[in-house]
Amino acid sequence: MAVGADVLDSITRAVSRERLVDTALRLCEVYSPTGSAGEVADALAELLRREGFAVERPEAGWPTAPAVVARLDTGRPGRTLQFNGHLDTVHLPFVKPALRGEQITGSGSADMKAGTGAAVEALLALRDSGVLSGGGVLLTAHDLHEAPWGDGSQLDRLIDDGVRGDAALIPEYLCDTLAIAGRGQATYRATIRRAGLPVHEVMRAADDPNVIAVGAELVRRIVAWNEQLSGDHDPVAGCQSAFVGQLHAGEIYNQSPSECWLEGTRRWLPGMKAAEVEAEFRRLVDGVAAASRTSIELRYQVVRDAFRLPLEDPLVAAFDRAFVATGRQPLPRGAKRFVDDGSSFWARAGMAAITHGPQGGGAHTLEEWVSIPELVRVAKLYAATAVEYCSQ
């Protein structure tokens, strides 16, 4: 079903700015660092129940904060479009939500509780307007998104258990590009150890390994490796990389430490296998350990796999048509600069997933904000995309 002027008018009248802002504020007022999003999930579930939805609460491997699942089903043939959001926030001091002119501020406002509120409003507008002529919408919200505290496993479990649509929209704060490819990302921490305790520099045995020197050698090899990886290039996603962000050792200037550690990231391209990327990294680390008579413990966490949006998927055309119907030109295609749940949908289920949300800023800082007019725009866009996509 195409979104004509009459359908768009029905959606516009059904989207309530006041209700949307109330939903966003309700979600943002609950402190929910990754791993502890149970209370905000309960709040969302109660809000949906009050609106008359039958709410499911699958644990999906994380009983501390069961996920939230709600459905709008027309009972007629068509596709199911999934609106998916995470309810957890990074581990920073909590900033209470506030209204400042045309913005909502506070923890999680940009990333991505307010965006999830816009998805909820789209669901309510579709119900109230009755413009969805076939198929249905699945709303999911979950914990364990933000690394390194979460590993994405709750959403992974939902996908694996079949709690998923035919395609997904994700209301993260990317709003100026239609991301069609993105790199996978892992974080790592390599801890280098020698036998014995830390000692004064003049008391170190001449043949004791120098863990700082070993750390420097590991950094040197990673930097050299990164130069090689930079030649492996995807025209949209960019280059592979191996990055060192910090190196630490010792407690005082004249101590010979027994431990040194470094942290960083590894990023790879669509089409590569995450397990093979990790194995290659481990071989590099093991080689440094063997040559230095130290032990190196590598803690390696895949944050998300690489991402590709198949442009031939019906979701892309539906999204573009809805974008035009709501008064804008189709977005330029480009790279997804960060990793998000779209990677999980693509890697685990081959699903098309578009990340598009309200304009906002300050994600992963104490100065988050999101635009209220943008929240309203996204709610209308999501509803219009569902009309275009689900009824085909």
Q: How many other CB atoms are there within 10 angstroms of residue 386's CB atom?
A: 31
Report DSSP letters for 365-383, one per residue. SS--EEEHHHHHHHHHHHH
Q: How many whole angstroms separate alpha carbon 109 and alpha carbon 95? A: 10
Query: Closest Cα to residue 352, out of 81, 68, 60, 77?
Result: 81
Domain stops at, among 304, 337, 372? 304
Nearest-5° Cα angle at 189, 188 to 194: 145
Q: Are 172 and 344 in contact (CB under 8 A)?
A: no
| pLDDT tens digits, 163-199 | 999 999 999 999 999 999 999 999 999 999 999 999 9
Q: How many whole angstroms separate alpha carbon 218 and alpha carbon 231? A: 21
Q: Are residues 289 and 312 in the same domain?
A: no
Q: Are residues 101 and 235 in the same domain?
A: no
| pLDDT tens digits, 47-74 | 999 999 999 999 999 999 999 999 999 9
Q: How many whole angstroms separate alpha carbon 303 and alpha carbon 267? A: 10
Q: Are residues 149 and 190 in the same domain?
A: no
Q: Are residues 33 and 88 in the same domain?
A: yes
Going by C-beta distance under 8 Å and a sequence separation of 6 or more, which residues neighbour residue 254? 200, 201
What's the mean pLDDT when you consider all of the chain? 96
Q: Are residues 220 and 311 in the same domain?
A: no
pLDDT of residue 2: 77
Q: Are residues 209 and 310 in the same domain?
A: no
pLDDT of residue 391: 85
Domain tally, the chain: 2
Q: Are residues 196 and 107 in the same domain?
A: no
Q: Which domain holds residue 347?
A: 5-182+306-390
pLDDT of residue 378: 98
pTM exceeds 0.85, yes or no: yes
Q: How many whole angstroms separate alpha carbon 166 and alpha carbon 4? A: 24
- Which CATH number is 331's domain given? 3.40.630.10
pLDDT band at residue 94 under the 50/70/90 scheme: very high
Q: Are residues 175 and 322 in the same domain?
A: yes
Q: How many whole angstroms separate alpha carbon 291 and alpha carbon 288? A: 5
Q: Are 2 and 116 in contact (CB under 8 A)?
A: no
| pLDDT tens digits, 197-250 | 999 999 988 889 999 999 999 999 999 999 999 999 999 999 999 999 999 999
